[in-house]
Structure 1
Amino acid sequence: MTSPERSLVFRALELNVVEGRADDIALTDAAGSMTYAHLLHDSASIAGALWQLGVAVESVVAVDLPPGRHQVISVLACARLGAEIGESQTLRIAGDPIMLQTPDTEVPWDVLLRAGRTDPAGAPDADPEGYADRLRAAHEQIFGPLLDGRAIV
C-alpha cells in the first residue's frame, strides 16, 4: 500500500528543513534574505492568524501584493490552510502598510504575525483533490524553486 503524497507546502518548506536546509536561503528580495526556517515560521504564523479569523479549506483569499516576501508568505500561509487564492470580496491581503482586510476590520501584518505565533498552523498531511496542481500552476515562481531546494529571487 502506498501512502498519499504529502501536501505541497510540506514538500516546499518542512521537507527542506527536515533534510538539513533550515539555514539555507529560501528567498531573496529587496528587503534581504530569509532562510527556509524563517519562511516556514512566518508562513505558519500568518496561517495561524488567518485560521483564528476563520480561513479554512476552500476559503478564498485575495493576495494583492507585489512580488516579494509578503506575497510569498501569504501564498504559503493560504496553502497551509487549503485556502484558495483568488478574487474575494471578504478576505484580502493588500495595502501599504500591508493588512488583512475583511468586511468588518483591517488587521495589520505585524499583528497577524504576532497573533499567529501563539498557534502557528502546521502543514496538512495531504492536499484536497487538485489543490496542489492549481496552486503550483498559479504560483510556479514560488513553488518551483522551493520544491527544488533553491531560493526564490
Structure 2
Amino acid sequence: MTNYWLMKAEPAEASIDDVLAMPNATVGWTGVRNYQARNFMRDGMQLGDGVLFYHSSCAEPGIVGIARVASGVTVDPTQFDPASTYFDAASKPDAPRWLLVDVQVLHKTRNFTLPQMRADAALSDMLVLKKGSRLSITPVEPQHWAHILRTLGISVS
C-alpha cells in the first residue's frame, strides 16, 4: 500500500530546482529535528511512497512538485558535523537520533500556494492546514493526494 506525505523544504536550503539539478533529481532529506517528523520517516515511510514537495519559510509557501521516497531510512550525517546547522552534540554515532530518506522529484508543478490550499474545501481537513501544524513532514490522505494531483493537472493513475 502506498502512503503519501507532504515534506517541507526551505528553498534557500534545497529548492525544487536545486533537487532537479542533482543526480537522478534526488536529495537526502537531512535536517529533520522534530521527533514526530522523524517518527513518520522511521515508522511510516516506504520506498515508492508519494511526496508533495512543499516550499516553506519563503514569500509564497506551497506545493511546488511531486516526488517519491527513493530509499529506505538511513542515518542523517549532519547530526555529527559540528559545522552543520543541524549538528546535535547529544547524538552519538552508536545511538543516532536523526534519520533521513532520499527523495526523488518526479514533476515540478506550478506553486499551489498555502492560501489556495486553505481556500479549497476539499482540503479543509488536511493535516498541514490544521491550526498550529508546523511539522516539516505530515501524512497526506489518499483523497487529498488525488485531489491535489487533479488540481495541478497531473494524471492520477
TM beyond 0.5: no
Which of these two proteins has the greater Rg computed from alpha carbons? 2
- Class of the TM-score when normalised by the shorter of the 2 chains: under 0.3
**Greater fraction of residues in helix:** 1
**Greater fraction of residues in strand:** 2
TM-score scaled by length of structure 2: 0.26
